[in-house]
Amino acid sequence: MIRRKEIFFRLGLVIALSATLLALVLPVVAIFIQSGPAELLASLGRPAAQDALVVSLRSAAICLVVVVAFGTPAAYLLATRRFPGRAAVITAVELPIVLPPSVAGIGLLAAFGPHGTLGGTLESLGINLPLTAAAVVIAMVFVSGPLYIRQAQAAFAALDPRLAHASSVLGVGEARWFGRVAVPLAAPGLGTGATLAFGRALGEFGATLMFAGSLQGVTQTLPIAIFEIFGTDFTAALAMGALLVAVSAALLLTVKLLGARHGAEPAYPHAALSLRS
């Protein structure tokens, strides 16, 4: 009986993985099956595709800098402090993850649009955000920031509290602890968060379209360019889709490889070294 149960269990595992592959991998693989290498190269030659790729990569890079610069200390604070309303703050920060793109776009317009909450203030400062390159970055920050902060918070929370205690006994200030120990130790988690955030920023579509519009070379990102061409030229849309998949996959793989190398180093001696220097 036990043997039979084991066989059924293993069979179940294989079926579950097959179903997972069918649902998650086939649509991605199909893009490459349907668009040959020749079409892929031809799509790279399209000025619209090149412009869109540049806009996407540039905006996502700026977005990542902003998210890491503000998200890392914010996540550290949320991970290490207990204060009234902390749960509410964390929920509010994570909420954009589950919001549909249309709501994100409406929200950004309601906040920063000409008739929006901050619209008057921005106008008096001579700042106009909607339909600008900055709007693309803002939309990306809104949707990708929570992914990074979530990961970073978990990474900081996972640090051994005895380490923090030991360093405070040794007279190491918190600022120094944060820069020399906490961030390096949490680096793998931060790296994962940054990758997820960058990938999400590259894939951002709906909120960008509503808040930043679509102008080639300025605000038209690769996902928007793909959707625009989809109606008239399915082959080109497929090829540009393949381009986006290739860029995203290369990115994920790079971080995975980097993470594997760092993960091999023992964490504690590294921390001790940082404290001494």
Q: Are 109 and 130 in contact (CB under 8 A)?
A: yes
By CB under 8 A, is residue 235 in contact with other proteins? no
Q: Between residues 195 and 220, which has the closer beta carbon with respect to other proteins? A: 220
| Residues, the chain | 277
137/145 Cα distance (integer angstroms):
11
Q: Which residues fall within 8 angstroms of residue 193, CB to CB, at 6 or more apart?
A: 71, 147, 148, 149, 150, 151, 152, 155
For other proteins, the binding residue among 71, 130, 188, 199 (CB under 8 A) is 130
Q: Between residues 209 and 255, which has the closer beta carbon with respect to other proteins? A: 209
Site residues (CB under 8 A) for other proteins, limited to 200-229: 209-210, 213-216, 219-220, 224, 227-229
252/254 Cα distance (integer angstroms):
6
By CB under 8 A, is residue 145 in contact with other proteins? no
Q: Between residues 19 and 246, which has the closer beta carbon with respect to other proteins? A: 19
CB of 87 to other proteins, least distance (A): 31
26/253 Cα distance (integer angstroms):
19
CB of 202 to other proteins, least distance (A): 19
By CB under 8 A, is residue 94 in contact with other proteins? no
Q: Are 99 and 107 in contact (CB under 8 A)?
A: yes
CB of 130 to other proteins, least distance (A): 4
Quick one: which segment of 109-117, 172-180, 185-193, 268-276 binds other proteins (CB under 8 A)? 109-117
Eight-state DSSP code of residue 95: G
> What residue has token string 């008739």?
115
Q: Between residues 32 and 227, which has the closer beta carbon with respect to other proteins? A: 227
For other proteins, the binding residue among 35, 52, 76, 113 (CB under 8 A) is 113
CB of 40 to other proteins, least distance (A): 20
By CB under 8 A, is residue 231 in contact with other proteins? yes
Q: Are 65 and 171 in contact (CB under 8 A)?
A: no
41/51 Cα distance (integer angstroms):
15
Kindly report the three-state secondary structure assignment for every residue of 67-95: HHHHHHHHHHHHHHCCCCCHHHHHHHHHH
Residues in contact with other proteins by CB under 8 A are 109, 113-115, 130-131, 209-210, 213-216, 219-220, 224, 227-229, 231-233
